[in-house]
Chain A
Amino acid sequence: MPVDASLVGRVFPPTAPLTVSEERVRAFAAATGSSYDGGPAPATFPIVLAFDAMNAFLEAEAIDLFRIVHGEQRFAYERPVVPGDVLTATLTVASLRQIAGNDIIGTTSEVTDADGTLVCATSATLVHRGAAA
Chain B
Amino acid sequence: MTLDTQTYAVTRADLVAYAEASGDHNPIHQDEDVARSVGLPGVIAHGMYTMALAARAVATWFPGAEVVSLGCKFTSPVVVPAEGAVDVVVAGEVKSSEDGLTTVALTVTSAGQKVLGMPKAVVRADG
Contact = CB atoms under 8 A, between A and B. Distances in A.
Contacts of B21: 24, 27-28, 30-31
B13 to A, nearest CB: 10
Contacts of A72: 71-74, 117
Interface in A74-110: 74-77, 79-80
Given A51-B24, A67-B38, A44 B66 contact: no
B126 interface: no
Interface stretch (B48-56, B93-101, B106-114): B48-56
Contacts of A52: 23
A73 B48 contact: yes
Interface residues of B, number: 42
A32 B23 contact: no
A102 B74 CA distance: 16
Given A31-B20, A132-B39, A66 B73 contact: no
B48 A28 contact: no
Contacts of B37: 66, 132
Contacts of B12: none
A66 B56 CA distance: 27
A32 B26 contact: no
Interface range for A = 35 or more
B41 interface: no
Nearest to B71: A74
B38 A44 contact: no
Interface in B29-58: 34, 37-40, 46-49, 51-53, 55-56, 58
A42 B38 contact: no
Those 6 A-B pairs whose CB atoms lie nearest each other, nearest first: A74-B71, A70-B47, A31-B21, A32-B52, A43-B55, A43-B67
Interface of A: 24, 27-28, 30-34, 39-40, 42-44, 47-48, 51-52, 55, 65-77, 79-80, 125, 129, 132
